[in-house]
């Protein structure tokens, strides 16, 4: 915890032996990272030893050698090219002059933090087919350090302990049922020798949980499920018995269970004085609540605990302590897995120990982290699903935005990507500001007639994934893309309003770092890395990064020289479903995956940017019947669109099927989609979900779409 309002009481408690930690302040982790060092991480600004730097996850570094007065002299000290060209979302760790990152496909790399000399690499060899089990790119967000080990969660659900000096595997355990669509993209945390990790997969029909493993040997110590399995009885943990009353438990039971979702795929924070571990819980599986809840068919009442909740547990035992549900009965993919920040702030004259979150649902929450009591919430971006809150902090719903199994679609803000996604925020204790990488996009939610779950492949959300496809009209598409916005917001959590806002050229910008040099650092979708004045938002410095940046920066020192590091590489949920040419008007957003490291006075240069090859569309003629194309459109929307883009318009990150060489060759297409010949590249067989006729209808639909879009390129469109 940073020393602010609470410094005096903590010192008193420390003197009484209640806190009692012998915090290391000499910056050396050479003999291993201890629990006390993690608790005292704030006193060690040379290193960055935990995901959010400190257990309160403030992502604030007191370092100020690089500051608002001299940041103009910041230059590239060194860079390292990555061997993956997918989204790069990791927060590096720095321990004693060595920098460790994870990359796409859960690889790990170690560097000399001052020179960039590579030290070692580790590749867990995640099977390529795992790519079809993930909603939002094959990303990884980072490592945890404890003792002389580093801990990694892999995309296919393993937890791996690596020797920090050599990268050798010390142990690995499988943390999920690999026959289901579980994945790990988040960074573990270590609390008192327990490695804690959750998982993802709530778009695919899994049951979420978070679990602790012994740092020594990987043995599982406890597991906390976030949703019931429908078999709860008097012997079950009380919190799950209570949850079961808020679900249609019939659909949760047995081998054809819908899973329920509630995955814990990213945020955690820890308060060592309260000994509480906080984590955020994800969306329902399927999204559409009408398929999960008791009540009349198609109405689906029920809060579906603990979806979209912030939960506090005892990390020694995994026992439930409290929860706050941000979106009762969520139905819009409104996860509460977004970054959680702990801080001690003064509200109405009283010092409060708070937890803060800007979950997807568009409200900024301030919660009492001792009790879970709701203190306040205000919308940080426009939203239309809630009309306010009752006195207990329960939202009052706008009924128009609830879509059941049938009925009219509704345009809802925010959409499934949220008002803020996984991109970390930062808190500046001197400014008392939370910086939010905010996102604005409304989405059309429409029921899918006769929807049935499919636990094999594809999105299992209970909505029509093709409802929002854009027509083949470039002007219309541009105008829709212009409504999707990205902002850097400086949010005052006491006044519950923005103090300043930077409007970005495009959405889906990077995570944040705040520093004692009065700076906020952020990469963005305009392919630059920039520094802003923490108090005013004035842009003070920027660097042309050649690629969109989504990952959060860190800062550290080696021999008293301050460095700022960020992993660059466009990707993740929005990047893979959007047309990289229309994200903003700054030119196409590319993926050129690189680690970039800066210091004052440095002047290294990036190699010349490779040319973007963008051949004209050249599809075979479209000859299929309207029925076949319609079937292909429906199947494409459900099984293909989440990776290859809505309406078959590909991103700059994943293959654009309109340009596929297999379009004109039915046999090759079937070999890919039915037989899985590209499994190692990440394109697994869909034969369990699609018949050969349906696969071919998808091919005909893509041919049809490619011809429509070729007419746009050549000006032949009406
Ligand atoms: Ca989700």
**Mean pLDDT, residues 590-600:** 98
pLDDT at res. 587: 84
Q: Which two tokens stand for residue 611?
A: 């040319």
DSSP H or E run through 712:
helix 692-714
Cα(205) to centroid of ligand 1, in Å? 11
Q: What percentage of the chain reaches a pLDDT higher than 70?
A: 95
Q: Which two tokens stand for residue 627?
A: 């029925």
pLDDT at res. 615: 79
Q: Is residue 636 predicted with pLDDT exceeding 70?
A: yes
Cα(288) to centroid of ligand 1, in Å? 12
Whole-number average pLDDT of the chain: 93
pLDDT at res. 212: 99
pLDDT at res. 8: 34
Task: Give all domains of the chain, ordered by start, each with its CATH number.
Answer: 12-460+472-600 (2.140.10.10), 626-714 (1.10.760.10)
pLDDT at res. 241: 98
Which pLDDT tens digit goes with each residue over 598-630? 999 999 999 999 888 777 899 999 999 999 999
Whole-Å CA distances, 395 to 324, 339, 371, 457: 12, 21, 19, 34
**Helical ranges in 382-486 per DSSP H:** 474-482
Cα 685 to the chain's mean position, in Å?
A: 26
Which pLDDT tens digit goes with each residue over 155-169? 999 999 999 999 999
Cα(333) to centroid of ligand 1, in Å? 5
* Cis preceding-peptide flag for 582 (omega within 30 of 0): no
- Separation CA 193–CA 141 (nearest Å): 21
**Mean pLDDT, residues 443-454:** 91
Cα(147) to centroid of ligand 1, in Å? 34
| CB neighbour list of residue 223: distance below 8 Å, 6 or more residues apart | 209, 210, 211, 212, 318
| CB neighbour list of residue 108: distance below 8 Å, 6 or more residues apart | 100, 101, 102, 121, 122, 143, 150, 152, 162, 167
Which pLDDT tens digit goes with each residue over 176-206? 999 999 999 999 999 999 999 999 999 999 9
- Is residue 31 classed as helix, strand or coil in its secondary structure? coil
- pLDDT band at 12; cut points 50, 70, 90: very low
Q: Among all residues, which ones are annotated catalytic? A: 333
Which pLDDT tens digit goes with each residue over 552-583? 999 999 999 999 999 999 999 999 999 999 99
| CB neighbour list of residue 50: distance below 8 Å, 6 or more residues apart | 38, 41, 93, 144, 145, 189, 190
Q: What percentage of the chain reaches a pLDDT higher than 90?
A: 88
Cα(526) to centroid of ligand 1, in Å? 25
Cα(110) to centroid of ligand 1, in Å? 31
pLDDT at res. 263: 98
**Mean pLDDT, residues 106-122:** 98
Cα(204) to centroid of ligand 1, in Å? 9
Cα(202) to centroid of ligand 1, in Å? 6
Q: Is residue 21 predicted with pLDDT exceeding 90?
A: no
pLDDT at res. 716: 62
Cα(282) to centroid of ligand 1, in Å? 6
**Mean pLDDT, residues 404-418:** 94
Better pLDDT: 109 or 651: 109
Give the other-Cβ count within 10 Å of 304's Cβ: 29
Torsion of CA 245, 134, 89, 575, to 10 degrees: -110
Determine which of 92-106, 124-138, 443-457, 593-607 has the lowest per-residue pLDDT on average: 443-457
Cα(374) to centroid of ligand 1, in Å? 24
Cα(63) to centroid of ligand 1, in Å? 36
pLDDT at res. 17: 34
Cα(90) to centroid of ligand 1, in Å? 19
pLDDT at res. 27: 54
Q: Is residue 712 predicted with pLDDT exceeding 90?
A: no
Cα(334) to centroid of ligand 1, in Å? 7
Q: Terminus-to-terminus CA distance in the chain, angstroms?
A: 62
Cα(357) to centroid of ligand 1, in Å? 17
Cα(137) to centroid of ligand 1, in Å? 12
Cα(423) to centroid of ligand 1, in Å? 14
Which pLDDT tens digit goes with each residue over 203-237? 999 999 999 999 999 999 999 999 999 999 999 99
Surface-to-core class of residue 444, CB atoms within 10 Å of its CB (0-12 exposed, 13-18 middle, 19+ buried): middle
pLDDT at res. 4: 37
pLDDT at res. 29: 80
Q: Is residue 592 predicted with pLDDT exceeding 60?
A: yes
**Mean pLDDT, residues 128-149:** 96
Q: Is residue 35 predicted with pLDDT exceeding 70?
A: yes
Cα(161) to centroid of ligand 1, in Å? 28
Cα(273) to centroid of ligand 1, in Å? 32
Cα(608) to centroid of ligand 1, in Å? 37
pLDDT at res. 296: 55
- pLDDT band at 294; cut points 50, 70, 90: low
The whole-model pTM stands at 0.94
pLDDT at res. 407: 87
Cα 26 to the chain's mean position, in Å?
A: 34
pLDDT at res. 13: 35
């Amino acid at each position: 915890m940073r020393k602010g309002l609470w410094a005096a009481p903590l010192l008193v408690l420390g003197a009484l032996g209640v806190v009692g930690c012998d915090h290391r302040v000499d910056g050396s982790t050479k003999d291993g990272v201890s629990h006390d060092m993690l608790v005292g991480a704030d006193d060690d600004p040379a290193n960055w030893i935990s995901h959010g730097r400190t257990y309160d996850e403030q992502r604030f570094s007191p370092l100020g050698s690089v500051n608002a007065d001299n940041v103009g002299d910041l230059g590239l000290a060194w860079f390292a090219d990555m061997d993956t060209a997918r989204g790069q979302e990791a927060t590096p760790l720095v321990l004693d002059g060595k920098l460790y990152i994870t990359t796409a496909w859960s690889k790990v790399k170690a560097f000399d933090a001052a020179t960039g000399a590579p030290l070692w690499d580790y590749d867990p060899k995640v099977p390529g087919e795992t790519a079809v089990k993930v909603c939002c790119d094959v990303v990884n967000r980072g490592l945890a350090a404890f003792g002389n080990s580093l801990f990694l969660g892999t995309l296919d659900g393993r937890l791996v302990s690596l020797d920090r000096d050599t990268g050798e595997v010390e142990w690995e355990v499988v943390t999920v049922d690999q026959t289901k669509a579980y994945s790990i993209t988040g960074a573990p945390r270590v609390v008192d020798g327990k490695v804690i990790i959750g998982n993802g997969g709530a778009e695919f029909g899994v049951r979420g949980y978070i679990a602790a493993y012994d740092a020594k040997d990987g043995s599982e110590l406890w597991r906390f499920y976030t949703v019931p399995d429908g078999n709860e009885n008097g012997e079950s943990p009380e919190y799950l018995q209570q949850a079961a009353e808020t679900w249609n438990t019939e659909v949760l039971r047995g081998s054809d269970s819908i899973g329920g979702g509630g995955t814990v795929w990213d945020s955690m924070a820890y308060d060592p004085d309260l000994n509480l571990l906080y984590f955020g819980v994800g969306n329902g599986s399927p999204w559409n609540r009408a398929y999960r809840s008791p009540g009349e068919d198609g109405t689906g009442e029920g809060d579906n605990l603990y979806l979209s909740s912030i939960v506090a547990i005892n990390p020694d035992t995994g026992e439930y302590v409290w929860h706050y549900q941000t979106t009762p009965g969520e139905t819009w993919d409104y996860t509460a897995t977004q970054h959680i920040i702990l801080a001690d702030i003064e509200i109405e004259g009283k010092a409060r120990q708070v937890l803060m979150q800007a979950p997807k649902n568009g409200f900024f929450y301030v919660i009492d982290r001792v009790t879970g009591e709701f203190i306040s919430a205000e919308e940080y971006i426009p939203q239309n699903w809630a009309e306010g809150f009752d006195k207990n902090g329960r939202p009052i719903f706008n009924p128009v935005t609830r879509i059941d199994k049938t009925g009219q679609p509704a345009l809802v803000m925010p959409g499934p990507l949220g008002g803020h996604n996984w991109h970390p925020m930062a808190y500046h204790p001197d400014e008392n500001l939370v910086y939010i990488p905010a996102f604005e996009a409304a989405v059309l939610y429409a029921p899918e007639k006769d929807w049935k779950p499919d636990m094999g492949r594809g999105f299992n959300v209970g909505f029509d994934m093709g409802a929002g496809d854009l027509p083949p009209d470039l002007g219309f598409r541009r105008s829709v893309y212009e409504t999707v916005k990205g902002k850097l917001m400086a949010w005052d959590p006491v006044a519950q309003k923005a103090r300043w806002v930077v409007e970005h050229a495009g959405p889906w910008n990077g995570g944040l770092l705040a520093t004692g040099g009065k700076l906020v650092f952020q990469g963005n979708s305009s392919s630059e890395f920039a520094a802003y004045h923490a108090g005013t938002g004035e842009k003070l410095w920027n660097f042309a990064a050649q690629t969109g940046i989504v990952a959060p920066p860190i800062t550290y020192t080696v021999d008293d020289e301050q460095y700022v590091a960020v992993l660059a590489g466009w990707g993740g949920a929005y990047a893979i479903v959007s047309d990289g040419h229309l994200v903003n008007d700054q030119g196409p957003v590319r993926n050129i995956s690189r680690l970039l490291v800066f210091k004052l006075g440095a002047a290294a240069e990036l190699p010349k940017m490779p040319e973007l090859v963008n051949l004209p569309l050249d599809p075979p003629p479209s000859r299929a019947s309207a029925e076949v194309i319609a079937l292909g459109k429906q199947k494409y929307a459900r099984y293909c669109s989440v990776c290859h883009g809505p309406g078959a318009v590909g991103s700059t990150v994943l293959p654009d099927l309109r340009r596929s060489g297999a379009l004109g060759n039915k046999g090759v297409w079937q070999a890919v989609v039915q037989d899985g010949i590209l499994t190692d590249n990440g394109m697994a067989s869909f034969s369990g979900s699609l018949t050969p006729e349906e696969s071919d209808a998808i091919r005909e639909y893509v041919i049809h779409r490619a011809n429509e879009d070729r007419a746009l390129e050549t000006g032949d469109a009406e």
